[in-house]
Structure 1
Amino acid sequence: MIPKRLRISGFLSYRQASELDFDHFSLACISGSNGAGKSSLLDAITWALFGRARRSDDAVINSHSTQAEVIFDFEYEQALYRVQRLKERNKLTVLEFYVLDQNGRWRPLTESGVRETERRIQQTLAMDYETFTNASFFLQGKADQFAQQRPNERKRILSSVLGLEVWEEYKNRAAEQRKTQENALSAVDGLIAEINTELGEEDQRKQALESLQKQLAQLSQSREQQESALEHHKRHAAAVQEQKKWVEQLHGQAQSVRQRVDGLQADLQARGADLAQAQQRLESAGEVQTSFQAWQENRRLLEAWESKAERYRAIESRRAPLITEIEKETARLENEIEGLEATRRQVGAQEAELPALMEQIRQVETSIQQTEASLRQRDTLQTQLEDLNRRQVETQAENRRLKEAMQELRERIDRLQAASEAAGCPLCGQPLSSAHRGDLVNRLSTEGQALKDQYLRNETALQTEKEQRSQLEQQIRQLQQTEKTLAAAQRQFDQLAHRKESIEKTLHDWQAGGAVRLQEAAAKLQNQSFAESARSSLAALQAEMDAVQYDPQAHRAVKQAELAGRSSEEAMRQLEAARAAIEPMQREIQNLTRQLDAASQELSAAEQQHQQAQQKYLESAKDLPDLPRLEKELFQVREQENRLRMQVGSARQAVDVLIGLKKRLQDLTAQREETAQEIGRLKQLELAFGKNGVPALLIEQALPEIQNEANDILEKLTNGSMSVIFETQRDYKDKKREDKKETLDIIINDESGVNRDYEMFSGGEAFRINFAIRLALSRFLSHRAGARLQTLVIDEGFGSQDAEGRQRLIEAINLVREDFAKILVITHLEELKDAFPARIEVEKTPQGSLMKVIT
């Protein structure tokens, strides 16, 4: 990975946008004071690629910025990539990944989420954050990270740097396949056990099949015998059933003849009754004819009265509108009088209310005058309250002065009593004798007592004034309530006055209009002096009705007589019908008599034939077997036979399946052998792919070259006084074990020729060792992978070295310069700036960190 361009904005100490172009140098130092932001450049690279830095989440955002953004362009395997990571405060991270295509456009490689995109970047670089920093970065506090790891972790990091993770993937795949094969083997073993269990039942299954086949043969023979017997009984039952049908048919024929005989007898009886009734009607012919003639006379009279009634009703219909008109006018006058009477009663009630209303108005007016007189006292009371408040304030002020004066006198007395004669008077400074002190104390005490007496008198006066003030305030509050009472009384007075005026106006209006109209309406109703035109027309119509001479009572009498005589018309028709029907009925009766005799003879013959057939049927049905029972028994035998056939089929299948199981057992046995062999091969692959297999061999092959590279560099750094040895195996503490323990120990041969563990060194010596190993590792990787690792960053180490050590480090860096496309060295030492062909100066300003390239 070769850095090409880095743009930082709002990241850590870089508040404003800053950009670094790596194309202008291959070796440069990054210089600046402590805290200027030198290491933040490396944090920006790792944060953009892996989301990892010395800080995380919102902590990477500059305190004066709302977001942090890093855009990092780099070249890898002859392709140009761009990573853009953005983090807004309190929001999720945004990560974009691009590659520059042949047309000069950035083609997105971003996945669906941040984690997926980070995995894509790691796959592109073929290393994660830890491997990247251990192999390419000498970070502050992490220069010895590779060497300081435990031996097993050293091997893991070295494997990752060498790209040996693929062997772990091979191992995992082999383990997964082994587990799959082991599961398959377990399944095959289970199947083999099941098959062997079934094959052990072969003799038992064959014996069961033979026994079931014998039972089936016996049951089939019994079923055939029952079927033959049942068929014979069914034929006999069918013949009996035919006899039964013939008996039923003969019975039906006899019943039909009997019904015909009954019908003829009924018809003959009915015709005889009809003939007797007709003969009876002929006997009453004179009476019927007389009634019929009287009815015809009543009918003629009714038609005459109906004509008069029609003319009478026509005249009466013309009277109806006139009567309605008179009734409406009567109702109107009655309603008007009723309304006026109601108004008169209301007016009377209001007139009776006036005396009480006048008295109530007088009482309210008197109350208002009294209340107004009371309110005039409020101003006087308010003046008294203000005077009292002023006196209280003055008295309280005087008491405060008296209290201060008494306190001052008390202090003077205390000073006098405490002062000695030699010290002099504390008040005037003159010599102080015992007599003089006594006189002063007495005089001051007398003044104090006078002040106290005045203070107490003032307190008594304040208490009295307080009570007077409370009384005045109570009286003023009462007067305020009285003011509300006055307002209510005034509102009541206005309402009463308005009510009085309303009643007086109502009385005046009634006397001027309502009372007069009531007298007029009552007179009209009493004298019937209204609707005169309608009354005149009604009298003329009454004269026309009298001229018709219509008598409703006589009309009703004739109508009732006609209605009562209508039955004579029907009796006359029946008489005439009887005269015409007597002779035909006599002929019909003779014919019915002959038919009845013939039908009676036919009925006797049919009943005799039915009795003979019934007797023969009963004799044949006497020996008929119970067919439902026989059929049920046969059905049960058939079901038993079917169940037995199914058992035979199952038993035969259970025997036949053993043949297939034997073949299946041979196949499974062969499959098990093959699976067991495959498991063995996969276990061997797991061991070969494991950390102690091929990766260990590859590390064993790489370590001598890394060791030689490290010793070449370490010889220059220590002037040949130190060398490094990598040991990949060591003896177990258990002396009984003959095998070796896999490890990756770092042994240092010092200037005295003694081998010591790496952990025994510290300070400058440890850094030289770390630097040599890390440079050797980077050089090895560079030689081994071409463009895989072409950047080296050193972020510490010079401060812990003396001048000679620093010079040797610079020489060592120049030795490997040609193996890397970019080497960056971070330092805060001024004397090292000129030791590099280019430098990146970082400065901390109020606007954040700023950087510039000087070549």
Structure 2
Amino acid sequence: MIPKRLTIRNFLSYRDLTLDFSGLHVACICGPNGAGKSSLLEAIAWAVWGQSRVAAEDDIVYQGQVEATVDFVFTHSAQTYRVLRSRRRNQGSTLEFQVEAGDGFRVLTQRGMRATQQQILQHLKIDYDTFVNSAYLRQGRADEFMLKRPRDRKQVLADLLKLDHYDRLGEQAREQARDARAQVQLLETAVAGLTAQLQQRTAIAVAHTALEAELAAAETTAQDQQQQLSQLRHQQQQRQGWQQQLALEQQQLGPLEASVQRVSDDRVQIQQQMLQMQHLLDQAEAIGTGYQQFQQLQAEAAQQGLKFQTYQPAQAERSRLQQQTAAVLSQLQADGQAARQRLADLDAAEQEQQQILSQRQTIQEHLSQLQAARTRLRDLDQRQLRVAPLRQRQRQLQAQIERAEASLSARLEAIQQAQQRLQAQQTQQPELIQAAVEVTHRIDYLEQRRSYQEDVRQKGSERRGFMERLQADQRNYEAQMAQLDQKIQLLSAPEACCPLCDQPLDPPRWDRLLLRHRQERSEIQDRLWVIREQLTTSEREIQVLRREYRELETELAKYAPVLQQRGQLQARLDTVSDLQSRLHELTTERQQLTQCLADNRYAEDLQAELGQLEQQLEQLPYDDRDHALARSQVDRLRWAEVKQASLQQAERRLAQLQAQRTALEQQLAQIQAQLDGFASHPLQQQLAAVEAQIAALDYDLEQHQQLRLALDQARVWQASHQALAQAQQQQPGLHQRLDELDRRLGQRQQAQADVTARVAQLQQQLDANPDPQTALTQLEAQRQTDQAKREQQLAQLGRLQQQLAQFEQLQAQLDQQQQTLQQARRQQQVYQSLADAFGPNGIQALMIENLLPQLEAVANQILGRLSAHQLHVQFVTQRAGRSRHKLIDTLDILIADPQGTRAYETYSGGEAFRVNFAIRLALARLLAQRSGTALQMLIIDEGFGTQDQAGCDRLVAAINAIASDFACILTITHMPHFREAFQTRIDVCKTATGSQIEISG
């Protein structure tokens, strides 16, 4: 990441700043402490990663401002990016991410800040932790690695390398090993239980054989009953068919009667219409005379309508002109009235200003009193400045003491509630034990039902396989029958030959061959009947098995919740066992807290400080009431200043009012002149012309209305004339309709007679064949009794078969459980080995061992530049223990100089800082390499105060020596002689409008 431009608004100590990094290769950021040097780099980290040193996010906003914004443009992997991040107080942050395109920046922002931040990390390939431990050498952390104990340095390296991922993997492996160990114990218990259950198989097999023989005899009896039942049902079906036919005929009889009635009604209605038409035809002459009168009135109404079309617009124009004339006259009168009112208002305003000017002497006296009151108030304000911090601290101490007391009281109340809760939980232990026993019995029952469900599924599979074999046999027999039918057809022909050898057959041989083929066909036909019966029976059994399987599936849906309930009960029982010790601890703590509250033994240092503050406040001569009285006196007299300004404004206002009076008098004279000459206005002339046009039309509105009434009364002859024409057209059609209805009425009456005859015939057949329902009911009752007995036997047989199949399933489960047990034991060993491998002494130690040679080589290379090759570091990972044959893991750092190898603590501050700086910079390079990106920018925010002039020169020389490895190096310092060592400098100073920078060199 190479910076190009940084723009800051209202961030930390900066108000508005733009820093262009173009041409900056090695630069020094210098300035006094607190000027805002580190804030520049904090702005970069906050813009890219959203991280900063402040505790609350709103603290990054400049004091007194609402929103902070940072715009950072940088280059990474030959591509230019732009990040804009802003924060608004008490609202939230926004983030935008852009990449440079041909004619500007293209937006890469995603939906949501988290997705956009992830997009930035994907492009940079470096997170905030890696940045602050590699490219950003933060202030005060140079010797952090060296000052730790040898056994803690490995943990520091592990944290920097992010090896905690292996700790999580190790914990997961240990968790899996514990789960595998628990599974092994459960499987061993299950294997023992299955072995005990398999000892009851022989006795159940004997009972199964005897019950199968009883069921065979019962099946023969059921077949005989089925034949008798079929005959009776056939008789009953025949009788029901007659009854249904009778019901249908009776249903047809009702609609036929209704149809005859409906045709008769239509015939009567047509006759009535013909009578009405004839009456209308008799009035034809009178209707013609009335229709001629209607046409004459209609022509006169049309002439009056033409006059009305001209009269109506003229009347509207006259109304409009009258309204406009009245409006103009009213406006002139209103303007005159308004002018007179404004003159009256000016008189009142002049009197008001004169009253204000009359208070001049009183206002001058109160101004003198206001100056004296303000002098006393300033004196009391200075006293308050001395007392306010003490009182504020007093309130803080009182609040802290009250919070301490409230904290103890809250803790005491929480302990009491916890004791009550634990005591209540102890009383629930017998109920939990009983519930756990019931849940265990329920789980045992459901496990048995699950085994039975598997037996049902296997039995259904067997039945389906058996049906597939039967269907294959059926297809084979049908093919054989087709061949035999073909051979019999060939033999039936005159002078038939042998189907095999194609030789002529004599009559005896022909008879034997034909008889044999027919016998074979009969045998195959019998076999097909047997197969079809077996297919029907198997289908019924499969339906029963499917229904039973669905019922078992519904019942077993409760298995998982019951297991979860058992786990919850077991956890609660485990918790109850620890309640007694917890109750004892809470009782002891409660007694201690009660004693502390009774003796006031809490926040003792705060109470002592509060006493000292109260003594200091008593010695200061300050009273809030005097201060309030002085402040109220100033507020009471402040009106004099307002009145002083009112006097000046009143003088200016009086001059303005006199000027306005002259203009209003001239305007009022003009309005009166317009009112006097209004008779010659253009609107008056237009109104006279329109009234003359209306008089020339000679139109009478009342006469027009009477003509309209006469026309409406004569309109009835128009309707009568139309009805007469329609009657003349419809009269021939009604005669044809009446003839058609007479014909349809005869057909309906004949159909009604035919249906009545069929009903009587069906009733005679039903009387001749009595209902066999009684015999059928008795036979079905006997059959149901035998069927119930056979079903009990089948159920018992099914239970025995289920038990036998269950034993087979138990044997298979036993074999499977034994295999699973072996796999679980192997998994336990594998996960235990993985837990050891992911631990601190496994992969993590190996990665650190591989990293240390690289770290040592890079650190010595940098340290040689800093110390003129006088210092050398070495990392030792193992040392001898008390026993010669035992080595202890460690991470010692040996430092050598021309006098020999010495401890780190014996070196001077300047030498120790060079070692720290070399190791720190080496770590930065390695971390950047591990993150998958090149370390192109280096920020050194370290204190160089321990270096003398020669040490500073070596540090500057080392920085310049490694400058070719970086695109940008920024160094922060407040030391003047270190500042002069750099050609390019960024001077930072703090002003009243925020921190400012100046680039020189």
Shorter chain as normaliser: what TM range? 0.3 to 0.5
TM-score normalized by structure 1? Answer: 0.46
Structure number with the bigger relative contact order (C-alpha 8 A, sep ≥ 6) is 2
TM-score normalized by structure 2? Answer: 0.40
Considering only CA atoms, is the larger Rg found in Structure 1 or Structure 2? 1
